[in-house]
Amino acid sequence: MPVKGWIEVHDLYCKGCELCVSACPQHVLALDLDRLTSKGYHPVVLTADGCTGCAICAVVCPEAALTVYREAPQKAPKPAIA
């Protein structure tokens, strides 16, 4: 099962430059055209399932506007009798 990730966008810093949108290998980022930040930018938003928590978006963001979370990998169940 693929690792599940998600992001948090910090509106105060996002300037809608779309660098993260272009860089996301899963194509799950877009600008939220229904919303404006207090600085007047459309902030980026997660548009679909499929984020793996790879953090490429956070690395390319020039404003450090993204925090990435990744689900802890499941441990394989141990056999009851070895």
> Site for ligand SF4 (CB under 6 A): how many residues?
26
Q: Does 32 help bind ligand SF4 (rule: CB under 6 A)? A: no
Q: Candidates 32-40, 50-58, 73-81 — which segment interacts with ligand SF4 by CB under 6 A?
A: 50-58
Closer residue to ligand SF4 in complex, CB, 45/77: 45
∠ CA 68-74-77, rounded to 5°: 175
DSSP run (H or E) holding 59: helix 56-60
Residues 6+ apart with CB under 8 A from 68: 5, 6, 7, 53, 54, 55, 57, 58
Contact footprint for ligand SF4 (CB under 6 A): 5, 7, 14-20, 24, 26, 28-29, 44, 51-57, 61, 63, 65-66, 68
